[in-house]
């Protein structure tokens, strides 16, 4: 499981497994608990590149980022081996 620190969001970090380019076991620490659990369920088993395309650039209120955007950025780093 990889863990990434979030920037500019209520959740402090996101963890997930990548197996064969597919996203599994997504868990956020902090943030909107029910919404973030639901996001994890909705992306379970999906291709990481598809998830990035769907979520990258999503904002939250007046913030320039969101938990979904931070997940997309973390997935990009994971795919790049960082």
Enumerate residue ranges in the chain where pLDDT < 50. none
Which pLDDT value is given to residue 15?
97
CA–CA gap between residue 12 and residue 14 (Å, rounded):
7
Which pLDDT value is given to residue 82?
82
pTM, to two decimals: 0.95
Q: What residue spans define the domains of the chain? A: 2-79
List of E strands, the chain: 2-5, 11-19, 22-30
């Amino acid at each position: 499981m990889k863990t990434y620190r979030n920037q500019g969001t209520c959740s402090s970090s996101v963890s997930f497994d990548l197996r064969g380019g597919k996203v599994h076991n997504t868990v956020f620490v902090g943030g909107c608990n029910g919404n973030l659990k639901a996001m994890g369920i909705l992306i379970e088993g999906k291709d990481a590149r598809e998830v990035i395309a769907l979520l990258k650039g999503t904002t939250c209120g007046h913030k320039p980022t969101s938990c979904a955007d931070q997940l997309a950025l973390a997935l990009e780093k994971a795919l790049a081996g960082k």
